[in-house]
Amino acid sequence: MTDLNKEAISILNDLIETSKDGQEGFKSCAEDVKDALLKNFFVQRSADCAKAAAELQAQVRALGGEPETSTSVAADLHRRWVDVKSMFTGKDDEAILNEAERGEDHALKAYNDAIKKINEHNLVGIRDLVERQLHGVQRNHDQVKAYRNDARAKS
């Protein structure tokens, strides 16, 4: 396996972890929100993240690597912290949307960092996939932010 393949696999595995984090984060949000529209939105975004992770895993296999299968430790700890915090402050939809936006900020950073690495190493074979998924992450972020702004305006 070439060094470029190893670098591409490393980048993709980091994004798999990010996608798995999003899948679990959106799933948790769907379980906690009260608004039916938001619940449906979070369920769909969780499914989209699962699909993104599967695409990335297939690409890792195509490059001869072993794909990541789990979420990150940091995201697991963050979800636990949100659960503990919500026991004291409650889980209103605005608070859930705030945490979802925080997660999407992290995902955007991860994907933008990946694009930089891809460009630095000229990894053209994975650029289209990662750029396409980056657009989905940006869409998720913008939608979460719009829902959060609506919730804030109502409170």
pTM of the predicted model, to two decimals? Answer: 0.88
What digits encode the pLDDT tens for the residues 43-96?
999 999 999 999 999 999 999 999 998 766 665 555 555 554 455 456 788 888
Q: How confident is the model at residue 4, as a pLDDT?
A: 79
Of 1-5, 100-104, 129-133, the least confident: 1-5
Q: How confident is the model at residue 89, as a pLDDT?
A: 52
Is it the case that residue 41 has pLDDT exceeding 80?
yes
Average pLDDT, the chain: 88
One-letter amino acid at 8 equals: A
Helices (H) and strands (E) in the chain, counts: 5, 0
**Cβ pair 74, 7 in contact under 8 A:** no
All structural domains of the chain: 3-154 (1.20.1260.10)
Q: Virtual CA dihedral for 26, 32, 37, 43, nearest 10 degrees?
A: 30
